[in-house]
Amino acid sequence: MRVFIFILTLVAFASAVAMAAEESMPSMSMPDKASPSTAESAQSAEEVYICPMHPHIHGKKGDKCPICGMDLVPADQSEPSSQSKPESKGEQKILYWYDPMVPDKKFDMPGKSPFMDMELVPFYEDEAGGDKSGALFIEPAYRQALGVRTAPAQMQEFGKSIHAFGSITPSTRSEYIVAVRKSGWIYDLKVSAVGDTVRKGDLLFTLYSPDLLVAQIDYLASIKGKNVIGNSEQRLRLYGMDEKAIAQLREKGKALDETPFYAPADGTITVLNVRKGSYVDPEDQMNTVLTLQDFSQVWIESHVPVKDLQFLSVGTPAMVTVDETGESLNAVVDTIYPMTDRESRKGMTRLVLDNPDEKLKTGSIVNVVFEAGSQSRLAIPAEAVLYGKDGGHVIEALGDGYFKPVTVQTGITAHGMTEIISGLKEGQSIVTSGQFMIDSESSLRGGLASMEEAIEGDGHDH
C-alpha cells in the first residue's frame, strides 16, 4: 500500500511539472523573437562612417581610409535600398543605376554593386543632358580637402617664349682703325694707353714722313699756279691726310714737318700699337697705329637652338636681362646669321642696343627672351595640363561635383599659359589645383572597369 501511494504521488508531481513547463514556453520564446529587432536597433544606433572617395570602405568615427588616407565621414543614409525599380524621383526620371567606382557599367535595377560592397547610385535624366556619363563624382568634403580650384579656358595674347644666352659685343659698324699709308716716325702721341677716350676732331698723333713732306710741297705749288703733275690734293688724301689737316696746311702756306692725324669719331682707344718715336711702315704691315671704338651702341649676340630659329625673324621683339645688374632692356632682332655651329647645333642672332651712358660692358653674359609669334590663342594655366604616354589631358569640372578627363592637343607654353589647339572650347571650366589626385582616382576606376571587361571576356571564351 505504501508503495502504491508513493507511485501516485510521483506521477502527480511529474504532471504538475509538465503543465508548468507548457505554460512558461510562450513567455520564454518572446525574447528570441524580439532579439533581431533589438540587434537591429543597436546597429542603427551606431553611426556608420565611410570614405567619400571610396564609399565601399566602412569604419568608425576617427578611422582613416586605407586607400587614400583621408578621414572617414558619416555615411549618407538616403541611398536607395529598395529592390523595386522607381521610375522617377520627384520630377527627375532615373535612366539607370551605376557603381560610382565603375561608372561605365550600367544596371536596370537598384541594389548592391557586384564590384564593391556598396549601393548602386541612380543616374537621372537631367544629368545625361550635362554629359556627365562616365564622369567622376567627388564629395564636397573631399573636394575641400584636395583644395580643388578651377579656371576657364579663355583667349590670351601671347607668343612662344624662346630663351637663350648671349654676350655683349662691340659694334663693328662703330669701329675705326687709324693707320698711316706712308712710312715715318710717330712724334707727338696724344693718347698713351688703351681706354683713353677722345672726341671727334681731337689730335691723336703727328707723323714725320719724307713722302708726306714732298706731297705737301707739290700741293702748295699747285695752289700758287705752278704746273704740278697729277692732282696734288687728291694725293694728300690718298696718303692719309684728312680734310682738317689739308685745311691747316693751306692756311699755314708751308709744309708741315709733322703731319697731324685727328680722331674720326668719338670713342675709346681699344688697340694701341705704337709709342712715341715708333717707326711705322706699310710695306712691313706695321702701319696700324690704333683702333677707336664707339660704345654708344652695342650688339647682343645670342645663340639660339636651330629648332627655334624658325620662329624668329628680323624685327622680333626680345627682352635682354643683364645678370650682373639685373637690368632689363627691350631690343629687336637685327640680324639672323645664315650659319650654325656644328658642335652646339645653335644659330646666332644679333640684337642692337643703344648704350649712351656706356653702362653695358662688352663681354658680359646676358639672358635673352624672344617673344615670337605673339597672337590671340585659346589657353589655360600651364599647371592644369597633365601629360602621359598618349599626350596631354586636363580634368574638366562639369559642375555639381562631377569631373571628367579630356584629351587635348597643346601648342606653345609661355608666361604660365599653355595653348590649346583642340579638345576644349572657350569658357569650359578646367581644374588647376588638385587635378593630380582626381586624375589618379579616375585612372584607378578606369583600370577596374577594364579589368572587369577582361574577366567577362574570358568567361565568354570559356
pTM tops 0.75: no
Evaluate if residue 10 carries a pLDDT over 50. no
Mean pLDDT of 56-66: 78
* pLDDT value at residue 273: 95
Range 313-338 average pLDDT = 92
Assign 127 a pLDDT band (cuts: 50, 70, 90).
low
Could you tell me which residue, 128 or 388, shows the higher pLDDT? 388
pLDDT, mean of residues 48-61: 74
Q: Which three cell numbers stand for residue 96?
A: 539607370
Predicted pLDDT of residue 462: 46
Which has more pLDDT, 195 or 136? 195
Band of the pLDDT at 230, cuts 50, 70, 90?
low
pLDDT at res. 54: 67
Lay out the sheet containing 197-198: strands in order across. 175-179, 288-293, 267-272, 197-198
For the chain, what is the total number of helices (H) and then of strands (E)?
8, 28
State pLDDT tens for residues 136-189: 787 787 778 778 889 999 998 877 888 999 999 999 999 999 999 999 999 999
* C-beta neighbour count of 419 within 10 angstroms: 21
pLDDT tens digit sequence for 389-401:
888 889 998 887 8
Instruction: Map residue 458 onto helix, strand or coil.
Output: helix
* Phi and psi torsions of 175, nearest 5°: -105, 135
What is the rounded average pLDDT of the residues 121-134?
A: 60
Give the pLDDT band (50/70/90) at residue 125. low
Confidence of residue 310 (pLDDT cuts 50, 70, 90): confident
Lowest mean per-residue pLDDT among 324-338, 339-353, 433-447: 433-447
Least confident of 17-21, 27-31, 248-252, 457-461: 27-31
Distance CA 231, CA 211 (A): 16
Mean pLDDT for the chain overall: 79
pLDDT value of residue 267: 95
Q: What is the mean pLDDT of residues 267-281?
A: 95
Dihedral, 310, 316, 321, 322 alpha carbons, nearest 10 = 90
Kindly report, residue by residue over 81-118, the tens digit of the pLDDT. 333 344 444 556 777 777 766 666 778 888 877 776 67
The predicted pLDDT at position 85 comes to 40
- Residue 135 sits at φ, ψ, to 5 deg, of -80, 165
Q: Which residue has the cell 557599367?
A: 105
Average pLDDT over residues 327-335: 93
Residue 222's H or E segment, with its range, is: helix 210-223
Buried b (16+ CB within 10 A) or exposed e, 222-258: beeeeebeeebbebbeebbbbeebeeebeeeeebbeb
Query: Is residue 459 pLDDT above 70, yes or no?
Result: no
Output 283 or 2, whichever has higher pLDDT: 283
Specify whether the CB–CB gap between 67 and 83 falls below 8 A: no
**Model confidence band, residue 262 (pLDDT cutoffs 50, 70, 90):** very high
Torsion of CA 242, 247, 248, 253, to 10 degrees: 130
The CA-atom distances, in angstroms, between 360 and each of 98, 167, 291, 321, 322 are: 69, 11, 20, 11, 8
pLDDT band at 277 (very low <50, low <70, confident <90, very high): very high
Q: Average pLDDT, stretch 65-82?
A: 62
Give, as one character, the DSSP assignment of residue 70. P
Listed ranges 28-42, 292-306, 372-386; the one with the highest mean pLDDT: 292-306
Taking residues 400-411, report their average pLDDT. Answer: 87
Q: Is the pLDDT of residue 381 over 80?
A: yes
Q: Which pLDDT does position 441 carry in this prediction?
A: 65
d(C-alpha 139, C-alpha 75), whole Å: 11
